[in-house]
């Protein structure tokens, strides 16, 4: 008789549709996407790769602040997001800025978030999302609450939230899933397993062989997906969304992915903890390479089209940085105004002091 | 008017707001069918249904976390933390998240959440039930912290807290839950947050207190009157923000102040109040402002509560010190 843990692990085989050569290996699971939608997915992935390259460069020039690189995770981030509706609510972690942008956050505001300006977090009406969460795990319990709220309102929508492999060790990771499970709330919990939490490999986070199997503890569905395969990621999320809006509760999706860059731009050096061999192994799995091959095979993508995307991205990034530069500087009185609906007396007193200083 | 204990007044306030606003949700550990470990939510699930008043899994961080999520969907959550000693589990969700949401979203989101939680000593609870941790939440910008001492105040302050569009931590002293009854109007009424109440007028010394210490201060004032000392007792009611106007007005009349709290001397709100008084009214003081507080140890083992908790004799002693300074 097999050990219990083996029986569990066997239920979490990696779900894949597109292999590294851009070939469909699981035709039955192929999502129903039109040619235009397939091209839009590629557009977003290429755009986001350029955004990452430019963000790193702008950060090095001191024109951006906090930045967590995303290259390598395009399929995981954009494939999950592409399965959503506008009314769905995105609760991102600090690396999940791309999902916010494709959910409707203007690029210049994403740059203001990076720099540390409150206007970056003033999401336009109708962009159903929170700004990137810095406290790893907190987004999971919040997403459970948002999903419960949607269920109570009778909305046919979901809350989707993201964390990394390291984040699965947090208490809030478990509590969030467990609450959503207990209430049958329409939540999608995504774990982007890029194998490292800063320098700590996933093997040091847990003895569990998959992170998807952590869903078992909450009594909810879990699935492990090839996170470099945008079609598999999209299909898994689409299915989780359908189940959620049909009242069948939350799903945990683990995407096996990789970040080609450092953890953040604040001095992390991945060569200290990652081997060149490992980097090379994952470079071969690049989500853009295999999806490009797939689309080219269908006659849906060309170098010319890709170059157009690149130019458009660079142009829009330039415009956005310019717009971010033009944003008025923050004053202490601005910060005070956003504390409470009505300023309490002690803060009013400080407000008056700073107002006087600012008008000098 | 009806005669109510503080716990009845709290239930009455919750019922009033559940009735008034369909976005009000009451939830926590055992608050549903069971009606709460102190019966604070007794009958509410039966009256308003499981959709409005419901039990949660046993996880404080999750409870506070879902509160913020529910608020983002337009609800007005009134979660309960079973005992405030368990707030450490929910500290990020309260101080790190709920308190900051309006600011971090540049005013585009808000958290109209009222976190109810019992605390306070003198009722022989086990470990980490009675600790006074109001100082921890009062130091977090974005929160308001309310501590009623009477059934009348509890109802009016709780209704105001629930209606406030910013997060409020509403702390309920366990010893005051059923210790006495008070005239409480059956209809709805509110008491403005951030407003203290002069519970007893006097001309010789100001005693500033909150929570169970208000009653100790009133008892001390009665005793002091026998010696010809007229003490004015101010019940803060809201410990953040503090009603400095009421305190300063009294200080300017009496010129002597004692600040009383149940929390340890290094904790609570007393130091903050002393600092504000010395910055704003030092020329009105005839003596230093003294504090009554618990010793700076971990909260007492049950059988040591009587020797450890501040009481009215400690207050009398401090008042005599400032009178005879």
Q: Looking at this predicted complex, what is its ipTM? A: 0.97
pLDDT of residue A1: 62
Rounded-to-integer distance, Cα A175 and Cα B57, Å: 9
How far is residue A277 from each of residues A75, A201, A268, A273, A284, measured CA to CA in Å?
A: 22, 15, 19, 12, 11
Q: Omega into B323 within 30° of 0, i.e. cis?
A: no
Closest CA to A231 of A31, A70, A60: A31
Rounded-to-integer distance, Cα B49 and Cα A352, Å: 47
- SS3 call for B294: strand
pLDDT of residue B1: 82
CB-based contacts of B287: which residues, under 8 Å, 6+ apart? B255, B256, B321, B322, B323, B325
Q: Are residues B30 and B162 in the same domain?
A: yes
Nearest-Cα distance to chain A for B211, in Å, is 21
pLDDT of residue A4: 86
Q: Return the residue of B nearest to A147 by Cα.
A: B69
CB of A129 less than 8 A from some CB of B: no
Q: Is the pLDDT of residue A3 over 90?
A: no
Q: Is the pLDDT of residue A277 over 80?
A: yes
Q: Are residues B173 and B232 in the same domain?
A: no
Q: Are residues B173 and B52 in the same domain?
A: yes
Closest CA to B147 of B164, B166, B172: B172
Q: Are residues B126 and B95 in the same domain?
A: yes
Q: Find the CB nearest A175 among B61, B68, B73.
A: B61
- SS3 call for B257: strand
Find the Cα–Cα–Cα–Cα dihedral A295, A297, A300, A305, rounded to 10°. 80
Chain B residues in contact with A150 by the CB 8 A cut-off are: 73
Gyration radius from chain B CA atoms:
19
- Beta-carbon separation of B59 and A150 below 8 A: no
Which of B162, B184, B206 marks a domain boundary? B184
Chain B residues in contact with A121 by the CB 8 A cut-off are: 104-106, 108
pLDDT over 90, % of chain A: 97
How far is residue A162 from each of residues A85, A143, A221, measured CA to CA in Å?
A: 17, 10, 16
Chain A residues in contact with B55 by the CB 8 A cut-off are: none
Rounded-to-integer distance, Cα A241 and Cα B287, Å: 68
CB-based contacts of A317: which residues, under 8 Å, 6+ apart? A50, A51, A54, A107
Banded model confidence at residue B257, pLDDT cuts 50, 70, 90: very high
Rounded-to-integer distance, Cα B241 and Cα B300, Å: 29
Rounded-to-integer distance, Cα A240 and Cα A84, Å: 10
Tell me, yes or no, if A153 is annotated catalytic. Answer: no
pLDDT over 70, % of chain B: 100
Active-site choice (A259, A274, A290, A292)? A259
Dihedral sign computed on CA atoms, order B68, B69, B71, B72: positive
Which residue's entry shows tokens 């707001």?
B17
- Beta-carbon separation of B65 and A159 below 8 A: no
Query: Number of A:B CB contacts under 8 A?
Result: 133
The answer to whether B245 and A345 are in contact (CB under 8 A) is yes
- Beta-carbon separation of B103 and A347 below 8 A: no
How far is residue A104 from each of residues A89, A98, A165, measured CA to CA in Å?
A: 12, 10, 27
- Beta-carbon separation of B66 and A140 below 8 A: no
Provide the mean pLDDT of chain A.
97
Q: Find the CB nearest B106 among A89, A148, A338.
A: A338
Q: Return the residue of A nearest to B165 by Cα.
A: A341
Q: What is the mean pLDDT of residues A150-168?
A: 98
Banded model confidence at residue B86, pLDDT cuts 50, 70, 90: very high
Q: Find the CB nearest B106 among A118, A142, A153.
A: A118
Rounded-to-integer distance, Cα B27 and Cα B226, Å: 48
B201: left (phi over 0), alpha (psi -120 to 50) or beta: beta
Which tens digits make up the pLDDT trace of A237-251? 999 999 999 999 999
Nearest-Cα distance to chain B for A112, in Å, is 12
Which of B184, B215, B244 marks a domain boundary? B184
Strand B24-28 relative to strand B231-235: parallel, antiparallel, unpaired? Answer: unpaired
Strand B231-235 relative to strand B205-209: parallel, antiparallel, unpaired? Answer: parallel
Q: How far apart are the first and last CA of chain B?
A: 45
**Domain boundaries along the sequence of chain A:** 2-327, 330-360
Tell me, yes or no, if A263 is annotated catalytic. Answer: yes
Please list the alpha-helical segments (H only) found in B73-184.
Answer: 91, 101-104, 134-138, 151-163
Identify the CATH number of the domain in which residue B119 sits: 3.40.50.970
Q: Return the residue of B nearest to A218 by Cα.
A: B57
If one counts every other C-beta atom within 10 angstroms of the C-beta of residue B88, the result is: 14
CATH fold group of domain A2-327: Rossmann fold (3.40.50)
Task: Please tell me the pTM assigned to this model.
Answer: 0.98
The two three-digit tokens of residue B111, written as one number: 């958290």
Phi, psi torsion values for A154, nearest 5 degrees: 75, 20
Nearest 5°: CA angle at A186, between A181 and A192? 80
Which residue's entry shows tokens 């995407």?
A255
Nearest-Cα distance to chain B for A153, in Å, is 8
Identify the CATH number of the domain in which residue B205 sits: 3.40.50.920
Chain A residues in contact with B107 by the CB 8 A cut-off are: 122, 337-338
Q: Find the CB nearest B166 among A138, A142, A340.
A: A340
- Best mutation target among A132, A142, A147 (most B Cβ atoms within 10 Å) is A142
Burial class (CB in 10 A: 0-12, 13-18, 19+), A246: exposed
Nearest-Cα distance to chain A for B196, in Å, is 13
Per residue, what are the HEC states of chain A?
CCCHHHHHHCCCCCECCECCCCCECCHHHCCCCCHHHHHHHHHHHHHHHHHHHHHHHHHHCCCCCCCCCCCCCHHHHHHHHHCCCCCCEEECECCCHHHHHHHCCCHHHHHHHHHCCHHHHCCCCCCCECCCECCCCHHHHHHHHHHHHHHHHCCCCCEEEEEECHHHHCHHHHHHHHHHHHHCCCEEEEEEECCEECCEEHHHCCCCCCCHHHHHHHCCEEEEEECCCHHHHHHHHHHHHHHHHCCCCCEEEEEECCCCCCCCCCCCCHHHCCCHHHHHHHHCCCHHHHHHHHHHHCCCCCHHHHHHHHHHHHHHHHHHHHHHHCCCCCCHHHHHHCCCCCCCHHHHHHHHHHHHHHCC
Q: Are residues B90 and B171 in the same domain?
A: yes
CB-based contacts of B235: which residues, under 8 Å, 6+ apart? B149, B150, B153, B196, B197, B198, B199, B209, B210, B214
Within a domain: residue B47? yes
Q: Return the residue of B nearest to A181 by Cα.
A: B57
The answer to whether B220 and B171 are in contact (CB under 8 A) is no
Q: Return the residue of B nearest to A131 by Cα.
A: B105
Which of B151, B184, B217 marks a domain boundary? B184
Chain A residues in contact with B166 by the CB 8 A cut-off are: 340-341
The domain in which residue B36 lies consists of 2-184
- Beta-carbon separation of A179 and B66 below 8 A: yes
Within a domain: residue B189? no
Which tens digits make up the pLDDT trace of B234-245? 999 999 999 999
Distance from the Cα of residue B136 to its chain's centroid = 13
Q: Are residues B70 and B105 in the same domain?
A: yes
Number of domains in chain B: 2
Rounded-to-integer distance, Cα A42 and Cα A44, Å: 5
């Amino acid at each position: 008789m097999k050990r219990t843990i083996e029986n569990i692990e066997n239920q979490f085989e990696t779900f894949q549709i597109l292999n590294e050569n851009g070939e469909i290996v699981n035709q039955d699971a192929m999502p129903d996407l039109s040619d235009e939608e397939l091209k839009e997915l590629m557009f977003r992935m290429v755009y986001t790769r350029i955004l990452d390259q430019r963000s790193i460069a702008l950060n090095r020039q001191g024109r951006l602040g906090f930045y967590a690189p995303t290259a390598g995770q395009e399929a995981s981030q954009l494939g999950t997001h592409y399965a959503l509706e506008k009314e769905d609510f995105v609760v991102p972690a600090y690396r999940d800025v791309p999902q916010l942008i494709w959910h409707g956050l203007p690029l210049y505001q994403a740059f203001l978030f990076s720099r540390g300006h409150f206007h970056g977090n003033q999401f336009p009406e109708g962009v159903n999302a929170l700004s990137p969460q810095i406290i790893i795990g907190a987004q999971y319990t919040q997403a459970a609450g948002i999903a419960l709220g949607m269920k109570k309102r009778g909305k046919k929508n979901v809350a989707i939230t993201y964390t990394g492999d390291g984040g699965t060790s947090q208490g809030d990771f478990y509590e969030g899933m467990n609450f959503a499970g207990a209430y049958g709330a329409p939540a999608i919990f995504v774990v982007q397993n890029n194998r490292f939490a800063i320098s700590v490999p996933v093997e040091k986070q847990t003895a569990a062989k998959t992170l998807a199997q952590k869903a078992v503890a909450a009594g909810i569905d879990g699935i492990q997906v090839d996170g470099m395969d945008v079609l598999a990621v999209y299909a898994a999320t689409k299915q989780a969304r359908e189940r959620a809006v049909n009242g069948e509760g939350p799903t945990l999706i683990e995407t096996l992915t990789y970040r080609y860059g450092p953890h953040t731009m604040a001095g992390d050096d991945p060569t200290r903890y990652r081997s060149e061999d490992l980097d090379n192994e994952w470079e071969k799995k690049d989500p853009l390479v295999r999806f490009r091959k797939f689309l080219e095979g269908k006659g849906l993508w060309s170098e010319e089209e890709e170059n157009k995307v690149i130019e458009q991205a660079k142009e829009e990034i330039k415009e956005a940085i310019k717009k971010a530069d033009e944003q008025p500087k923050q004053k202490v009185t601005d910060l005070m105004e956003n504390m409470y609906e009505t300023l309490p007396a002690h803060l009013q007193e400080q407000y008056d002091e700073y107002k006087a200083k600012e008008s000098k | 008017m009806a005669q109510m204990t503080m716990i009845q007044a709290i239930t009455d306030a919750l019922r009033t707001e559940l009735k008034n606003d369909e976005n009000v949700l009451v939830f926590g550990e055992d608050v549903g069918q069971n009606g709460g470990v102190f019966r604070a939510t007794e009958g509410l699930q039966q009256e308003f249904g499981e959709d409005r008043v419901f039990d949660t899994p046993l996880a404080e961080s999750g409870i506070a976390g879902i509160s913020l999520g529910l608020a983002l969907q337009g609800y007005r959550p009134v979660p309960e933390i079973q005992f405030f000693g368990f707030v450490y589990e929910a500290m990020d969700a309260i101080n790190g998240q709920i308190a900051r949401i309006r600011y971090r979203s540049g005013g585009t989101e808000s958290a109209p959440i009222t976190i109810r939680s019992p605390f306070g000593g003198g009722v022989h609870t086990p470990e980490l039930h009675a600790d006074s941790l109001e100082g921890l939440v009062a130091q977090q910008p974005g929160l308001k912290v309310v501590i009623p001492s009477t059934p009348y105040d509890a109802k009016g302050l709780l209704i105001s807290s629930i209606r406030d569009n910013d997060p409020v931590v509403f702390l309920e002293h366990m010893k005051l839950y059923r210790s006495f009854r008070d005239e409480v109007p059956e209809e709805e009424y509110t008491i403005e947050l951030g407003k203290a109440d002069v519970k007893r007028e006097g001309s010789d010394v100001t005693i500033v207190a909150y929570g169970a210490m208000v009653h100790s201060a009133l008892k001390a004032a009665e005793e002091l009157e026998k010696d010809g000392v007229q003490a004015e007792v101010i019940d803060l009611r809201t410990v953040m923000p503090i009603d400095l106007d009421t305190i300063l007005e009294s200080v300017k009349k009496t010129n002597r102040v004692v600040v009383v709290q149940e929390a340890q001397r290094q904790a609570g709100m007393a130091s903050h109040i002393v600092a504000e008084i010395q910055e704003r009214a030092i020329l009105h003081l005839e003596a230093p402002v003294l504090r009554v507080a618990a010793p700076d140890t971990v909260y007492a083992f049950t059988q040591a509560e009587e020797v450890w908790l501040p009481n009215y004799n400690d207050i009398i002693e401090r008042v005599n010190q400032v009178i005879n300074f």
